[in-house]
Amino acid sequence: MNKIFFILALFLSANMFAQQPLPPDKIYGQLFTDVQMAKIFPDGKTFVDCVPKRDPKTIVADYVKIKNDPAIRFSLKLFVDENFITPSAKRAIVNDGNEKDVTQHIKKLWSVLKRDADKKVDGSSLLPLPNSYVVPGGRFREIYYWDSYFTMLGLKESGETQIMENMLDNFAYLINTYGHIPNGNRSYYLSRSQPPFFSMMVDLLATVKGDEVYKKYLPALQKEYNYWMDKTANTKHAVKMPDGSTLNRYYDRDDIPRQESYKEDVDVANQSNFQNAVSGETWMKNGNNFSAKQKAMFRNLRSGAESGWDFSSRWFADEKNIATIQTTNLIPVDLNCLLYNMEKVMAKAYSLTKDLSNAALYNSKANARKNAILKYCFNSSQQFFCDYNIASKKQNNIITAAGLFPLFVNIADKKQATAVAEVFKNNLLKPGGVATTNNKTGQQWDAPNGWAPLQWVAVKGLMNYGENELAKKAAERWVAVNEKVYAATGKMMEKYNVEDITKEAGGGEYPGQDGFGWTNGVYLAMKKMLSQQSIISTKPD
Protein backbone atom coordinates (compact mmCIF):
# COMPACT_ATOMS: atom_id res chain seq x y z
CA MET A 1 0.00 0.00 0.00
CA ASN A 2 2.81 2.42 0.87
CA LYS A 3 4.44 1.66 -2.49
CA ILE A 4 1.17 2.51 -4.28
CA PHE A 5 0.89 5.82 -2.44
CA PHE A 6 4.52 6.66 -3.27
CA ILE A 7 4.00 5.92 -6.97
CA LEU A 8 0.81 8.01 -6.93
CA ALA A 9 2.69 10.90 -5.30
CA LEU A 10 5.40 10.72 -7.94
CA PHE A 11 2.74 10.66 -10.69
CA LEU A 12 0.96 13.70 -9.30
CA SER A 13 4.29 15.48 -8.88
CA ALA A 14 5.37 14.68 -12.44
CA ASN A 15 2.00 15.94 -13.67
CA MET A 16 2.51 19.15 -11.70
CA PHE A 17 5.95 19.66 -13.25
CA ALA A 18 4.55 18.93 -16.71
CA GLN A 19 1.99 21.72 -16.26
CA GLN A 20 4.51 24.29 -15.08
CA PRO A 21 4.99 27.38 -17.26
CA LEU A 22 7.65 27.05 -19.91
CA PRO A 23 10.86 29.04 -19.39
CA PRO A 24 12.05 31.46 -22.11
CA ASP A 25 14.48 29.00 -23.71
CA LYS A 26 11.63 26.58 -24.36
CA ILE A 27 9.30 29.32 -25.64
CA TYR A 28 11.74 31.11 -27.95
CA GLY A 29 14.16 28.34 -28.94
CA GLN A 30 16.82 29.55 -31.37
CA LEU A 31 15.85 33.19 -30.82
CA PHE A 32 16.61 32.81 -27.11
CA THR A 33 20.00 31.23 -27.79
CA ASP A 34 20.97 33.82 -30.40
CA VAL A 35 20.05 36.74 -28.16
CA GLN A 36 21.90 35.37 -25.14
CA MET A 37 25.02 34.25 -27.01
CA ALA A 38 25.24 37.57 -28.89
CA LYS A 39 24.88 39.50 -25.58
CA ILE A 40 22.25 41.78 -27.06
CA PHE A 41 21.85 42.91 -23.46
CA PRO A 42 24.89 43.27 -21.16
CA ASP A 43 22.99 41.42 -18.45
CA GLY A 44 21.70 37.97 -19.45
CA LYS A 45 18.79 38.38 -17.06
CA THR A 46 17.29 41.21 -19.13
CA PHE A 47 16.00 39.15 -22.04
CA VAL A 48 14.47 36.42 -19.89
CA ASP A 49 12.52 39.14 -18.10
CA CYS A 50 11.30 40.77 -21.32
CA VAL A 51 7.58 40.74 -22.10
CA PRO A 52 6.53 39.91 -25.69
CA LYS A 53 4.47 42.52 -27.54
CA ARG A 54 2.54 39.82 -29.40
CA ASP A 55 2.02 36.06 -29.50
CA PRO A 56 5.38 34.33 -28.82
CA LYS A 57 4.74 31.63 -31.41
CA THR A 58 4.26 34.30 -34.08
CA ILE A 59 7.42 36.08 -32.97
CA VAL A 60 9.42 32.85 -33.25
CA ALA A 61 7.97 32.01 -36.67
CA ASP A 62 8.76 35.49 -37.98
CA TYR A 63 12.27 35.28 -36.57
CA VAL A 64 13.03 32.01 -38.33
CA LYS A 65 11.60 33.30 -41.59
CA ILE A 66 13.48 36.61 -41.51
CA LYS A 67 16.77 35.12 -40.31
CA ASN A 68 16.80 32.52 -43.08
CA ASP A 69 15.92 34.95 -45.87
CA PRO A 70 19.19 36.10 -47.50
CA ALA A 71 17.39 39.00 -49.15
CA ILE A 72 16.64 40.64 -45.79
CA ARG A 73 19.27 42.71 -44.03
CA PHE A 74 18.70 41.58 -40.48
CA SER A 75 19.43 43.20 -37.10
CA LEU A 76 18.89 40.95 -34.10
CA LYS A 77 18.87 43.93 -31.73
CA LEU A 78 16.25 45.71 -33.80
CA PHE A 79 14.10 42.57 -33.97
CA VAL A 80 14.18 42.26 -30.17
CA ASP A 81 13.38 45.96 -29.70
CA GLU A 82 10.41 45.69 -32.06
CA ASN A 83 8.97 42.56 -30.48
CA PHE A 84 9.67 42.82 -26.75
CA ILE A 85 9.16 45.25 -23.89
CA THR A 86 12.48 45.53 -22.10
CA PRO A 87 12.17 45.61 -18.30
CA SER A 88 13.33 48.70 -16.53
CA ALA A 89 14.59 48.53 -12.98
CA LYS A 90 12.51 50.72 -10.68
CA ARG A 91 15.29 52.82 -9.27
CA ALA A 92 15.72 52.97 -5.53
CA ILE A 93 15.63 56.33 -3.83
CA VAL A 94 19.16 57.67 -3.61
CA ASN A 95 19.74 60.07 -0.76
CA ASP A 96 20.45 63.55 -2.11
CA GLY A 97 22.30 64.55 1.04
CA ASN A 98 19.30 65.83 2.95
CA GLU A 99 18.34 62.51 4.54
CA LYS A 100 21.03 61.85 7.12
CA ASP A 101 19.22 59.12 9.03
CA VAL A 102 19.59 55.68 7.43
CA THR A 103 16.56 54.29 9.26
CA GLN A 104 14.23 56.92 7.85
CA HIS A 105 15.70 56.42 4.40
CA ILE A 106 15.00 52.68 4.54
CA LYS A 107 11.41 53.27 5.63
CA LYS A 108 10.97 55.33 2.46
CA LEU A 109 12.66 52.61 0.41
CA TRP A 110 10.03 50.01 1.34
CA SER A 111 7.46 51.77 -0.85
CA VAL A 112 9.91 51.71 -3.79
CA LEU A 113 10.69 48.02 -3.34
CA LYS A 114 7.07 47.01 -2.82
CA ARG A 115 5.16 45.31 -5.64
CA ASP A 116 1.40 44.88 -5.79
CA ALA A 117 -0.24 41.55 -6.56
CA ASP A 118 0.71 40.45 -10.06
CA LYS A 119 -1.44 40.04 -13.13
CA LYS A 120 -0.74 37.22 -15.55
CA VAL A 121 0.91 38.32 -18.80
CA ASP A 122 1.12 35.83 -21.68
CA GLY A 123 4.70 35.07 -22.62
CA SER A 124 6.16 36.67 -19.48
CA SER A 125 8.50 34.61 -17.30
CA LEU A 126 6.98 36.15 -14.16
CA LEU A 127 5.02 33.71 -12.00
CA PRO A 128 2.12 35.88 -10.79
CA LEU A 129 1.69 36.17 -7.03
CA PRO A 130 -1.68 36.87 -5.37
CA ASN A 131 -0.43 39.31 -2.74
CA SER A 132 1.92 42.27 -2.47
CA TYR A 133 5.60 41.68 -1.75
CA VAL A 134 9.00 43.35 -1.46
CA VAL A 135 11.78 42.76 -4.02
CA PRO A 136 15.51 43.09 -3.37
CA GLY A 137 15.97 45.92 -5.91
CA GLY A 138 17.88 46.69 -9.10
CA ARG A 139 17.99 43.76 -11.54
CA PHE A 140 16.10 41.65 -9.01
CA ARG A 141 12.57 42.56 -10.02
CA GLU A 142 10.80 39.62 -8.37
CA ILE A 143 10.55 38.06 -4.94
CA TYR A 144 13.53 35.95 -3.87
CA TYR A 145 13.26 33.13 -1.39
CA TRP A 146 16.02 33.48 1.17
CA ASP A 147 16.40 37.23 0.67
CA SER A 148 12.87 37.64 1.98
CA TYR A 149 13.58 36.41 5.51
CA PHE A 150 16.25 39.04 6.04
CA THR A 151 14.10 41.69 4.39
CA MET A 152 11.31 40.74 6.81
CA LEU A 153 13.59 41.42 9.77
CA GLY A 154 13.49 45.08 8.74
CA LEU A 155 9.82 45.07 7.76
CA LYS A 156 9.07 43.94 11.30
CA GLU A 157 11.10 46.82 12.75
CA SER A 158 9.24 49.22 10.45
CA GLY A 159 5.86 47.92 11.59
CA GLU A 160 5.08 46.46 8.14
CA THR A 161 3.39 43.37 9.54
CA GLN A 162 0.77 43.03 6.82
CA ILE A 163 3.23 42.79 3.97
CA MET A 164 5.24 40.25 5.99
CA GLU A 165 2.13 38.08 6.14
CA ASN A 166 1.41 38.74 2.47
CA MET A 167 4.87 37.46 1.58
CA LEU A 168 4.38 34.31 3.64
CA ASP A 169 1.02 33.80 1.93
CA ASN A 170 2.78 34.17 -1.43
CA PHE A 171 5.33 31.53 -0.49
CA ALA A 172 2.55 29.18 0.65
CA TYR A 173 0.87 29.82 -2.71
CA LEU A 174 4.07 28.91 -4.57
CA ILE A 175 4.41 25.71 -2.56
CA ASN A 176 0.81 24.74 -3.25
CA THR A 177 1.04 25.64 -6.94
CA TYR A 178 4.49 24.36 -7.91
CA GLY A 179 5.39 21.96 -5.11
CA HIS A 180 8.15 24.15 -3.68
CA ILE A 181 9.36 27.71 -3.30
CA PRO A 182 11.45 28.45 -6.38
CA ASN A 183 14.61 30.58 -6.34
CA GLY A 184 12.34 33.48 -7.36
CA ASN A 185 8.92 33.85 -8.97
CA ARG A 186 10.17 33.31 -12.52
CA SER A 187 9.55 30.33 -14.79
CA TYR A 188 13.29 29.91 -15.36
CA TYR A 189 13.79 29.45 -11.60
CA LEU A 190 11.35 26.55 -11.22
CA SER A 191 14.01 23.84 -11.45
CA ARG A 192 15.46 24.82 -8.07
CA SER A 193 14.74 26.40 -4.72
CA GLN A 194 16.97 28.43 -2.38
CA PRO A 195 18.09 28.10 1.26
CA PRO A 196 14.87 27.05 3.06
CA PHE A 197 14.11 29.96 5.38
CA PHE A 198 10.31 29.54 5.23
CA SER A 199 10.17 28.02 8.71
CA MET A 200 12.19 30.95 10.07
CA MET A 201 9.76 33.35 8.42
CA VAL A 202 6.95 31.54 10.24
CA ASP A 203 8.89 31.91 13.51
CA LEU A 204 9.40 35.61 12.81
CA LEU A 205 5.76 36.35 12.03
CA ALA A 206 4.71 34.38 15.12
CA THR A 207 6.65 36.85 17.29
CA VAL A 208 4.19 39.48 16.08
CA LYS A 209 0.93 37.55 15.59
CA GLY A 210 1.21 34.62 17.99
CA ASP A 211 1.10 30.84 17.77
CA GLU A 212 -1.83 30.71 15.33
CA VAL A 213 0.76 31.45 12.66
CA TYR A 214 2.26 27.97 13.12
CA LYS A 215 -1.10 26.33 12.57
CA LYS A 216 -1.87 28.44 9.50
CA TYR A 217 1.34 27.56 7.66
CA LEU A 218 1.76 23.95 8.82
CA PRO A 219 0.32 22.45 5.59
CA ALA A 220 2.75 24.51 3.49
CA LEU A 221 5.64 23.61 5.79
CA GLN A 222 4.84 19.94 5.40
CA LYS A 223 4.75 20.21 1.60
CA GLU A 224 8.05 22.09 1.50
CA TYR A 225 9.65 19.53 3.78
CA ASN A 226 8.41 16.75 1.51
CA TYR A 227 10.02 18.53 -1.45
CA TRP A 228 13.41 18.76 0.21
CA MET A 229 13.19 15.12 1.37
CA ASP A 230 12.30 13.87 -2.15
CA LYS A 231 8.86 12.70 -1.03
CA THR A 232 6.91 14.50 -3.76
CA ALA A 233 9.49 14.31 -6.54
CA ASN A 234 12.85 12.74 -7.18
CA THR A 235 14.71 15.99 -6.67
CA LYS A 236 17.77 14.17 -5.26
CA HIS A 237 18.22 16.62 -2.39
CA ALA A 238 18.30 13.87 0.25
CA VAL A 239 21.47 11.83 0.67
CA LYS A 240 21.91 8.63 2.66
CA MET A 241 25.08 8.97 4.71
CA PRO A 242 27.53 6.10 5.44
CA ASP A 243 25.99 5.46 8.87
CA GLY A 244 22.44 5.32 7.46
CA SER A 245 21.43 8.83 8.54
CA THR A 246 20.03 11.31 6.04
CA LEU A 247 21.41 14.75 5.25
CA ASN A 248 20.70 17.08 2.34
CA ARG A 249 22.47 18.84 -0.50
CA TYR A 250 21.65 21.42 -3.15
CA TYR A 251 20.59 19.83 -6.44
CA ASP A 252 19.00 21.58 -9.40
CA ARG A 253 16.66 19.43 -11.46
CA ASP A 254 18.10 20.65 -14.80
CA ASP A 255 21.51 20.10 -16.42
CA ILE A 256 21.48 22.91 -18.98
CA PRO A 257 22.97 26.42 -18.78
CA ARG A 258 21.05 28.79 -16.53
CA GLN A 259 18.66 30.75 -18.74
CA GLU A 260 19.44 34.04 -16.99
CA SER A 261 23.21 33.46 -17.29
CA TYR A 262 23.24 31.36 -20.43
CA LYS A 263 26.37 32.70 -22.12
CA GLU A 264 28.29 32.78 -18.86
CA ASP A 265 27.61 29.08 -18.25
CA VAL A 266 28.41 28.08 -21.84
CA ASP A 267 31.66 30.05 -21.65
CA VAL A 268 32.66 28.31 -18.41
CA ALA A 269 32.10 24.94 -20.07
CA ASN A 270 33.91 25.89 -23.27
CA GLN A 271 36.89 27.41 -21.48
CA SER A 272 37.36 24.37 -19.28
CA ASN A 273 39.39 21.29 -20.16
CA PHE A 274 36.33 19.25 -21.06
CA GLN A 275 36.32 17.45 -24.37
CA ASN A 276 33.90 18.05 -27.22
CA ALA A 277 32.82 21.50 -26.03
CA VAL A 278 30.25 22.99 -28.38
CA SER A 279 28.61 26.38 -28.58
CA GLY A 280 25.12 26.97 -27.25
CA GLU A 281 24.00 27.63 -30.83
CA THR A 282 25.07 24.18 -32.03
CA TRP A 283 23.33 22.64 -29.04
CA MET A 284 20.03 24.36 -29.78
CA LYS A 285 20.16 23.45 -33.48
CA ASN A 286 21.22 19.84 -33.21
CA GLY A 287 19.82 18.78 -29.88
CA ASN A 288 21.62 18.55 -26.56
CA ASN A 289 25.15 17.77 -27.69
CA PHE A 290 26.86 18.82 -24.50
CA SER A 291 29.02 16.10 -23.05
CA ALA A 292 28.09 14.33 -19.84
CA LYS A 293 30.83 16.28 -18.04
CA GLN A 294 29.46 19.57 -19.30
CA LYS A 295 25.95 18.64 -18.24
CA ALA A 296 27.34 17.83 -14.81
CA MET A 297 29.00 21.23 -14.74
CA PHE A 298 25.75 22.98 -15.64
CA ARG A 299 23.90 21.12 -12.90
CA ASN A 300 26.61 22.08 -10.42
CA LEU A 301 26.42 25.71 -11.50
CA ARG A 302 22.65 25.67 -11.15
CA SER A 303 22.89 23.93 -7.77
CA GLY A 304 25.36 26.59 -6.68
CA ALA A 305 22.67 29.11 -7.56
CA GLU A 306 20.20 27.16 -5.42
CA SER A 307 22.57 27.62 -2.48
CA GLY A 308 22.35 31.41 -2.79
CA TRP A 309 26.17 31.48 -2.80
CA ASP A 310 26.56 31.95 -6.55
CA PHE A 311 29.44 31.65 -6.69
CA SER A 312 32.06 30.79 -4.11
CA SER A 313 35.30 28.83 -3.80
CA ARG A 314 33.33 26.89 -1.21
CA TRP A 315 31.92 24.87 -4.11
CA PHE A 316 35.19 24.45 -6.06
CA ALA A 317 37.28 21.30 -5.79
CA ASP A 318 40.49 23.34 -6.01
CA GLU A 319 39.04 26.33 -4.09
CA LYS A 320 40.14 28.58 -6.97
CA ASN A 321 38.53 27.85 -10.32
CA ILE A 322 34.83 27.71 -11.11
CA ALA A 323 35.57 25.01 -13.71
CA THR A 324 36.09 22.63 -10.75
CA ILE A 325 32.64 23.31 -9.28
CA GLN A 326 31.24 20.29 -7.41
CA THR A 327 28.17 21.59 -5.54
CA THR A 328 26.24 18.33 -5.70
CA ASN A 329 29.10 16.44 -4.03
CA LEU A 330 28.80 18.55 -0.91
CA ILE A 331 26.61 18.29 2.16
CA PRO A 332 26.29 21.98 3.11
CA VAL A 333 26.30 22.66 6.83
CA ASP A 334 24.01 25.69 6.49
CA LEU A 335 21.34 23.87 4.45
CA ASN A 336 21.13 21.10 7.00
CA CYS A 337 20.90 23.55 9.88
CA LEU A 338 17.96 25.22 8.13
CA LEU A 339 16.25 21.86 7.66
CA TYR A 340 16.87 21.10 11.34
CA ASN A 341 15.05 24.33 12.15
CA MET A 342 12.23 23.34 9.79
CA GLU A 343 11.84 20.03 11.60
CA LYS A 344 11.75 21.78 15.00
CA VAL A 345 9.17 24.29 13.77
CA MET A 346 7.03 21.50 12.33
CA ALA A 347 7.23 19.64 15.65
CA LYS A 348 6.03 22.77 17.42
CA ALA A 349 3.24 23.33 14.90
CA TYR A 350 2.02 19.73 15.23
CA SER A 351 2.13 20.06 19.00
CA LEU A 352 -0.05 23.18 18.80
CA THR A 353 -2.56 21.27 16.68
CA LYS A 354 -2.59 18.47 19.31
CA ASP A 355 -1.03 16.02 16.85
CA LEU A 356 1.42 14.63 19.38
CA SER A 357 2.45 11.69 17.21
CA ASN A 358 3.76 13.93 14.42
CA ALA A 359 5.22 16.33 16.97
CA ALA A 360 7.29 13.47 18.39
CA LEU A 361 8.20 12.29 14.89
CA TYR A 362 9.63 15.63 13.81
CA ASN A 363 11.44 16.19 17.09
CA SER A 364 13.04 12.79 16.50
CA LYS A 365 13.96 13.74 12.93
CA ALA A 366 15.48 17.00 14.18
CA ASN A 367 17.56 15.21 16.81
CA ALA A 368 18.79 12.70 14.25
CA ARG A 369 19.77 15.50 11.88
CA LYS A 370 21.53 17.38 14.67
CA ASN A 371 23.63 14.33 15.50
CA ALA A 372 24.46 13.79 11.82
CA ILE A 373 25.51 17.43 11.36
CA LEU A 374 27.77 17.24 14.39
CA LYS A 375 29.26 13.98 13.17
CA TYR A 376 29.82 14.85 9.52
CA CYS A 377 30.32 18.62 9.52
CA PHE A 378 32.44 19.43 12.56
CA ASN A 379 36.02 19.46 11.32
CA SER A 380 38.15 18.59 14.34
CA SER A 381 41.40 19.65 12.68
CA GLN A 382 40.01 23.09 11.77
CA GLN A 383 37.87 23.30 14.93
CA PHE A 384 35.11 24.68 12.73
CA PHE A 385 31.97 23.49 10.97
CA CYS A 386 32.60 22.70 7.30
CA ASP A 387 30.77 21.09 4.40
CA TYR A 388 31.12 17.33 3.97
CA ASN A 389 32.17 15.85 0.61
CA ILE A 390 30.24 12.66 -0.19
CA ALA A 391 32.67 11.76 -3.00
CA SER A 392 35.87 11.94 -0.94
CA LYS A 393 34.06 11.07 2.32
CA LYS A 394 35.89 13.90 4.05
CA GLN A 395 35.08 17.34 5.36
CA ASN A 396 36.21 20.30 3.31
CA ASN A 397 38.86 22.40 5.03
CA ILE A 398 37.77 25.81 3.75
CA ILE A 399 36.63 28.21 6.49
CA THR A 400 33.42 29.99 5.46
CA ALA A 401 30.72 31.98 7.23
CA ALA A 402 28.40 29.00 6.70
CA GLY A 403 30.22 27.42 9.64
CA LEU A 404 28.32 29.77 11.99
CA PHE A 405 24.92 28.22 11.20
CA PRO A 406 25.19 25.47 13.88
CA LEU A 407 25.50 28.29 16.42
CA PHE A 408 22.64 30.18 14.76
CA VAL A 409 20.26 27.23 15.25
CA ASN A 410 21.74 26.18 18.62
CA ILE A 411 23.01 22.68 17.84
CA ALA A 412 26.71 23.10 18.67
CA ASP A 413 27.86 22.12 22.13
CA LYS A 414 29.59 24.73 24.28
CA LYS A 415 33.10 23.44 23.57
CA GLN A 416 32.48 23.50 19.81
CA ALA A 417 30.97 26.98 19.97
CA THR A 418 33.99 28.31 21.87
CA ALA A 419 36.33 26.82 19.26
CA VAL A 420 34.25 28.17 16.38
CA ALA A 421 34.24 31.65 17.92
CA GLU A 422 38.02 31.63 18.15
CA VAL A 423 38.46 30.51 14.53
CA PHE A 424 35.90 33.08 13.45
CA LYS A 425 37.75 35.87 15.25
CA ASN A 426 41.07 34.93 13.66
CA ASN A 427 39.81 34.25 10.15
CA LEU A 428 36.51 35.87 9.24
CA LEU A 429 36.13 38.99 11.39
CA LYS A 430 37.29 41.93 9.26
CA PRO A 431 37.24 45.75 9.59
CA GLY A 432 33.84 45.91 7.88
CA GLY A 433 32.21 42.88 9.50
CA VAL A 434 32.04 39.19 8.59
CA ALA A 435 33.88 37.95 5.51
CA THR A 436 32.27 35.21 3.44
CA THR A 437 35.56 33.32 2.93
CA ASN A 438 39.23 34.29 2.88
CA ASN A 439 39.77 33.17 -0.71
CA LYS A 440 40.16 35.83 -3.40
CA THR A 441 38.83 34.26 -6.59
CA GLY A 442 36.89 37.06 -8.26
CA GLN A 443 33.65 35.35 -7.24
CA GLN A 444 31.22 37.51 -5.31
CA TRP A 445 30.73 35.04 -2.45
CA ASP A 446 34.43 35.13 -1.62
CA ALA A 447 36.82 37.69 -0.14
CA PRO A 448 36.75 40.61 0.19
CA ASN A 449 32.95 40.67 0.21
CA GLY A 450 30.54 40.55 3.12
CA TRP A 451 26.80 39.97 2.84
CA ALA A 452 23.96 41.02 5.13
CA PRO A 453 22.47 37.55 5.77
CA LEU A 454 25.78 36.15 6.93
CA GLN A 455 26.29 39.07 9.32
CA TRP A 456 22.97 38.31 10.99
CA VAL A 457 23.65 34.59 11.23
CA ALA A 458 27.11 35.17 12.70
CA VAL A 459 26.05 37.79 15.25
CA LYS A 460 22.97 35.90 16.44
CA GLY A 461 24.89 32.63 16.53
CA LEU A 462 27.67 34.08 18.65
CA MET A 463 25.18 35.67 21.02
CA ASN A 464 23.39 32.34 21.44
CA TYR A 465 26.56 31.05 23.13
CA GLY A 466 27.41 34.13 25.18
CA GLU A 467 30.11 35.38 22.80
CA ASN A 468 28.65 38.87 23.12
CA GLU A 469 31.83 40.88 22.84
CA LEU A 470 32.72 39.19 19.57
CA ALA A 471 29.15 39.61 18.34
CA LYS A 472 29.37 43.28 19.30
CA LYS A 473 32.43 43.85 17.16
CA ALA A 474 30.92 42.13 14.14
CA ALA A 475 27.62 44.00 14.43
CA GLU A 476 29.19 47.41 15.00
CA ARG A 477 31.59 47.02 12.11
CA TRP A 478 28.82 45.99 9.70
CA VAL A 479 26.52 48.82 10.73
CA ALA A 480 29.43 51.23 10.43
CA VAL A 481 30.32 50.18 6.88
CA ASN A 482 26.64 50.42 5.85
CA GLU A 483 26.51 53.95 7.22
CA LYS A 484 29.84 54.93 5.69
CA VAL A 485 28.81 53.86 2.20
CA TYR A 486 25.39 55.45 2.63
CA ALA A 487 26.95 58.76 3.66
CA ALA A 488 29.20 58.68 0.59
CA THR A 489 26.70 57.41 -2.01
CA GLY A 490 23.19 57.69 -0.61
CA LYS A 491 22.72 53.97 -1.33
CA MET A 492 22.15 50.72 0.55
CA MET A 493 24.13 48.12 -1.36
CA GLU A 494 23.66 44.42 -2.04
CA LYS A 495 27.13 43.57 -0.70
CA TYR A 496 30.14 45.36 0.83
CA ASN A 497 33.91 45.14 0.86
CA VAL A 498 34.61 44.19 4.48
CA GLU A 499 38.38 43.90 4.15
CA ASP A 500 39.06 47.41 2.84
CA ILE A 501 36.13 49.66 3.73
CA THR A 502 37.46 52.39 1.45
CA LYS A 503 36.73 50.24 -1.61
CA GLU A 504 33.60 48.85 -3.26
CA ALA A 505 32.60 45.21 -3.27
CA GLY A 506 33.02 43.41 -6.58
CA GLY A 507 33.08 40.10 -8.39
CA GLY A 508 30.27 38.07 -9.85
CA GLU A 509 28.33 38.20 -13.11
CA TYR A 510 26.71 41.62 -12.74
CA PRO A 511 27.49 45.09 -11.29
CA GLY A 512 26.72 45.89 -7.66
CA GLN A 513 23.03 46.51 -7.04
CA ASP A 514 21.45 48.98 -4.67
CA GLY A 515 18.12 49.11 -2.94
CA PHE A 516 18.60 46.67 -1.17
CA GLY A 517 16.10 44.40 0.57
CA TRP A 518 18.20 42.22 2.83
CA THR A 519 20.73 44.93 3.63
CA ASN A 520 17.88 47.19 4.74
CA GLY A 521 16.36 44.44 6.85
CA VAL A 522 19.53 43.40 8.64
CA TYR A 523 20.59 47.00 9.20
CA LEU A 524 17.33 47.89 10.95
CA ALA A 525 17.26 44.72 13.05
CA MET A 526 20.93 44.98 13.97
CA LYS A 527 20.69 48.67 14.79
CA LYS A 528 17.85 47.92 17.21
CA MET A 529 19.74 45.02 18.72
CA LEU A 530 22.79 47.22 19.26
CA SER A 531 20.74 49.88 21.00
CA GLN A 532 18.96 47.41 23.30
CA GLN A 533 21.85 45.18 24.39
CA SER A 534 23.63 46.65 27.40
CA ILE A 535 26.83 44.80 26.53
CA ILE A 536 26.86 46.23 23.02
CA SER A 537 27.81 49.84 22.51
CA THR A 538 26.97 51.68 19.29
CA LYS A 539 30.47 52.98 18.61
CA PRO A 540 32.61 51.02 16.14
CA ASP A 541 36.12 50.23 17.37
Q: Which of 495, 490, 483, 494 is nearest to 516 (CA)?
A: 494
Distance CA(276)–CA(367), nearest Å, equals: 47
Phi-psi region of 321 (alpha: psi -120 to 50; beta: other; left: phi over 0): beta
Type of residue numbered 12: L
Half-sphere exposure at residue 23, Cβ-oriented, CA atoms within 13 angstroms? 22
- DSSP per-residue codes, 42-105: SSTHHHHT-EESS-HHHHHHHHHHHHT-TTS---HHHHHHHHEEPP---PPPPP-SS---HHHH
Q: For residue 128, what are the CA distances in angstroms to 118, 124, 170, 179, 397?
A: 5, 10, 10, 15, 42
Which residues lie closer than 8 Å to 77 by C-beta, 6 or more apart?
A: 40
Catalytic residue selected from 25, 224, 494, 514: 494
Q: Are 125 and 187 spatial neighbours (Cβ–Cβ below 8 Å)?
A: yes
Catalytic residue selected from 142, 165, 310, 476: 310
Q: Is 310 a catalytic residue?
A: yes
Q: Is 494 a catalytic residue?
A: yes
Q: Which of 198, 196, 202 is nearest to 228 (CA)?
A: 196
Q: What is the DSSP letter of 22?
A: P
- Residues recorded for the chain: 541
Q: Are 149 and 522 spatial neighbours (Cβ–Cβ below 8 Å)?
A: no
Active-site residue list: 310, 494
